Amino acid sequence: MRACWYILLVKQGFEQTIRDQLIDKQKELGFNEVTISEDLSGYVFIRSIEIKQVGNYLVFDGTLRFLGSKKEGPKKFSTSQINKLNVEPKKQYVEYKKGDHVIIKHGDLSDIDGIIVEIRKRVVKIRPAVLDKIVKVRVRDIEFI
Q: What is the CATH number of the domain that holds 116?
A: 2.30.30.30
14 and 80 in one domain? yes
Which domain range does residue 105 map to? 101-144
Q: How many domains does the chain have?
A: 2
Cα–Cα distance for residue pair 66/101, rounded to 1 Å = 36
Q: How many CA atoms lie within 13 A of 68 on its CB side?
A: 18
| pTM greater than 0.75 (yes/no) | no
Mean pLDDT of the chain: 80
Who has greater pLDDT, 3 or 115? Answer: 115
Residues 83-110 pLDDT 10s? 777 665 554 446 788 998 998 988 888 8
136 and 71 in one domain? no
* Phi, psi for 112 (deg, rounded to 5): -100, 135
73 and 14 in one domain? yes
110 and 45 in one domain? no
Mark which of 84, 111, 130 sits at the end of a domain. 84
